[in-house]
Amino acid sequence: MCDLLQRNPDETTGGVGVGSKHGNTMARQKVIEGEGSSGGNKPPPAGRLSPHFNPDDERFDDELRPQKLSEVVGQRKVVDRLKIVLDATLKRKEPLSHILFDGPPGLGKTTLAMTLAKEMGTECQITSGPALMAPKDLLSYLTNASYGSVLFIDEIHRLPPAVEEFIYPVMEDFRVDIVLGEGMNARTINMKLKPFTVIGATTRSGMLTAPLRDRFVHREHLDFYDVMELTEIVQRNAKKLRTEINEDAAVLIADRSRGTPRKANNLLRWTRDFATVREPSGNITKPISERALAMLEVDAVGLESQDRRYLSTLVSVFSGGPAGLSAIGHTMNVPPDTLEDEVEPFLLRLGFIQRTPRGRTITIAGLHHLGLQAPDQRTDSTAQGELF
């Protein structure tokens, strides 16, 4: 450790500064290194991957995204309309019109935005609504935008009102009004911007104000994928991750991905890790996929342990409902907003629960999934017990 503190700062790599004996700060070298690190002259241990290929490298994760519109799987109607807009724009040599993507998370809104920028051969700046707290936060993106470039704003429905009003003249006239000074000495500077494209993405289009929503020329809604489309995505991404996967295993992973490519990619990565450890060949087969997803507690329809616990609580504690969301959340020791945003949407899609004015109730399909029999729904006079 003393050697590290006395090392010349010019010989050290970037890191957290530590105090020297002269009171100055200098960069610190990496002190702890793993066995497979590149430090030293030791060869990698037997059985480890070659240092020339790391399957968890960030660049391979980036390559999972399609690079062209022709490589996008699913969302055919959306892609066909975007191709028309893109081809017309390239022929006229103009920037793309402003586009708004809406839909559930994980369906490819960011992917489509980045793909359009690559097809146009221009740069793409990425930010999000919560990151733009004031108009000055947006100003740097606007002044750096080149002709025809793309500014992608994720979760655009979370833009503060001041930033939203600031972006109106930007999207319409490509100009920025900057106020300098205060009071009677204040003056306004009108700055012209180079025409560029704003692409917004939102999971809650209903929270967008009408003036902002109407400024997007094209609006595209992304829907869930079917099993065949997800299977193709899993097979393509397995090749990009340099992992062999059987078709049956790809179908199994796709069937439990809830119709979401992001979920399919996450399950693929987990199954790849499981196969690397538990399978000598490292290949993903159907038995390996079943064991991996069983360890992850993902069942045949894609429900996770939290989802099944929700259904079990609704049956065992509330006799199938109706039950209020707050009561269910307190019983499970889970915040109600977590249940409403993460657990209930997929259960509603499957038809396992219903939202009624009196509360949540479990359906016959939900009872059958838990292996329980539906109560006898008799409507005759014998269904009611006698009082005496």
Tally the residues of the chain: 388
Catalytic residue among 65, 154, 213, 360: 154
Catalytic residue among 262, 286, 291, 308: 262
For the question of residue 89 being annotated catalytic, the response is no
In which domain, by residue range, is 1 found? 1-29
Q: Residue 127: exposed, middle, or buried by beta-carbon count in 10 A (0-12, 13-18, 19+)?
A: middle
Compute the average pLDDT of residues 143-170.
Answer: 88
Give yes or no: residues 111 and 23 share one domain: no
Give yes or no: residues 193 and 237 share one domain: no
Note the pLDDT tens digit of each residue in 75-102.
899 999 999 999 999 898 888 889 999 9
pTM of the model: 0.74
**Spatial strand order in the sheet of 197-202:** 124-128, 150-154, 197-202, 99-102, 218-221
Catalytic residue among 65, 89, 110, 256: 110
Catalytic residue among 111, 202, 203, 231: 203
Give yes or no: residues 209 and 136 share one domain: yes
Give yes or no: residues 261 and 328 share one domain: no
For the question of residue 154 being annotated catalytic, the response is yes
Q: Is residue 7 part of a domain?
A: yes
Place of tokens 């935008």: 145
Whether residue 218 has pLDDT greater than 50? yes
Query: Looking at 43-52, 112-121, 333-342, which range is the least confident one?
Result: 43-52
Backbone angles phi, psi at 187, to 5 degrees: -140, 155
- The sign one gets for the Cα dihedral 194, 80, 210, 154 is negative
- pLDDT > 70 fraction of the chain, expressed in percent and rounded: 78
Q: Is residue 61 part of a domain?
A: no
Domain count, the chain: 4
How are beta strands 359-362 and 175-180 bridged, if at all? unpaired
Whether residue 232 has pLDDT greater than 80? yes
- C-alpha closest to that of 88 among 119, 125, 112: 119
For the question of residue 262 being annotated catalytic, the response is yes
Mean pLDDT of the chain: 79
Note the pLDDT tens digit of each residue in 1-33.
444 444 444 444 444 444 444 444 444 444 444
For the question of residue 91 being annotated catalytic, the response is no
For the question of residue 202 being annotated catalytic, the response is no
Catalytic residue among 65, 109, 256, 258: 109
- The CATH number of whichever domain residue 234 belongs to comes to 1.10.8.60
